[in-house]
A and B are shown apart, each in its own frame.
Chain A
């Protein structure tokens, strides 16, 4: 049975994580301090370390939360019956929802603990697996030409990552996904588009 103290403990942990996510969204990982997180949740600085042994441990949980939110939303928003067009829309919508967090994660990954990179790659493998299934559906329906699934997924991941990494250049002061998402999707679909017969 879960006691009240356990519930309070879990609630405080969640509060800290949410505050961490909000501050990373605003300023990135490097500029987010445990002191600021404590201030935002209205707790003593030491309380952070009751729930997370080190700053790195908290950073990893923030990265996990970004990753699980993406895979979870994708699992809910997309379906195994989706073709590429619908899958790409679902993925772009998920990225849009946490655009600043994904951008911060990609930009600062080399300075984060090694497991952060492992989480990003796991997240990308999940995207790739779903994109591969969507491509196969379109091939089976005669809507797309046969194409290497891993290669297509890597092209998509590279494209979206490039725009997220450089969102300040591609869409200063606004959402890079809103501004460029539709064009990126069209570019990917064009790669596997079936050639129309010429008369």
Chain B
């Protein structure tokens, strides 16, 4: 496997390639346009969990409550969210 990677979102791990992928269209942004606002600031944890869960639902048809649990589990392993507890069900 190659060691060279395109930048990935520090919140969800999504690979950021095109300008639209980066928060605010800024290629220096640490987060993607889903997880952060146009100024590059992370959205609240529960909001990011919900947005990532929606991605699972839309692209694989996963049950919403299972998708929320998957998204929460995934995000909690990311440095940006270590220790965060979602209140979403």
Q: Which residues of A contact B (CB under 8 A)?
A: 14, 18, 21, 60, 64-69, 71-73, 75-76, 97-98, 101, 114-115, 117-119, 121-122, 124-126, 128-129, 132, 150-151, 153-154, 157
In the bound complex, residues from chain A placing their C-beta under 8 Å from that of B3 are 14, 18
Residues of chain B within 8 A (CB-CB) of A129 are 55, 59
Report B32-65 residues with CB < 8 Å from chain A CB: 52, 55-56, 58-62
Answer whether A124 and B1 are a contact pair too, CB < 8 Å, given A64-B13, A75-B6.
no
Contact residue among B2, B5, B60 (Cβ-Cβ distance under 8 Å from A124) = B60
Residue in contact with B74 in the complex, picked from A76, A119, A157, CB distance below 8 Å: A119
For the complex of A and B, the 10 pairs showing the least CB-CB separation, nearest first, are A118-B74, A128-B59, A125-B59, A118-B73, A69-B1, A118-B70, A72-B5, A115-B77, A150-B61, A75-B15
> How distant is A139 from chain B, measured CB to nearest CB, in Å?
17
B positions within 8 Å CB-CB of A: 1-3, 5-6, 8, 12-15, 17, 52, 55-56, 58-62, 70-71, 73-74, 76-77
Cross-chain contact B15 with A72 (CB below 8 angstroms) = yes
**CA separation between A117 and B67, bound complex, in Å?**
12
Most chain B beta-carbon neighbours within 10 Å: one of A18, A119, A132, A151: A119
Q: What residue in chain B is nearest A101 (Cβ atoms)?
A: B1
How far in angstroms is the closest Cβ of chain A from B52?
A: 8
Shortest beta-carbon distance from B54 to chain A in Å: 10
Q: How far is the CA of A125 from the CA of B56 in the complex (A)?
A: 6
| Extra inter-chain contacts (9) besides given A64-B13, A67-B13, A121-B60, CB under 8 Å | A60-B77, A73-B2, A76-B17, A97-B1, A119-B74, A126-B59, A128-B60, A129-B59, A150-B61
Q: A115 to chain B: which residues have CB within 8 Å?
A: 73-74, 76-77
Which residues of the other chain, A, contact B15 by a CB distance below 8 angstroms?
68, 71-72, 75, 126
B1 touches A153 (CB 8 A): no
**When the two chains form their complex, are residues B8 and A68 in contact, meaning their CB atoms are under 8 A apart?**
yes
Known: A119-B74, A132-B59, A154-B61. A21 touches B13 (CB 8 A): no
- Please indicate the chain A residues that have their CB under 8 angstroms from the CB of B58 in the complex: 150
Give A134 Cβ to nearest chain B Cβ, in Å: 13
How near does chain A come to B45, taking the closest CB pair, in angstroms? Answer: 15
On chain B, the residues within 8 Å of A72 by CB distance are 2, 5-6, 8, 15
Cβ contacts under 8 Å, A97 to chain B: 1
A75 contacts which chain B residues (CB < 8 A)? 6, 15, 17
Residues of A within 8 A of B77 (CB): 60, 64, 115, 118
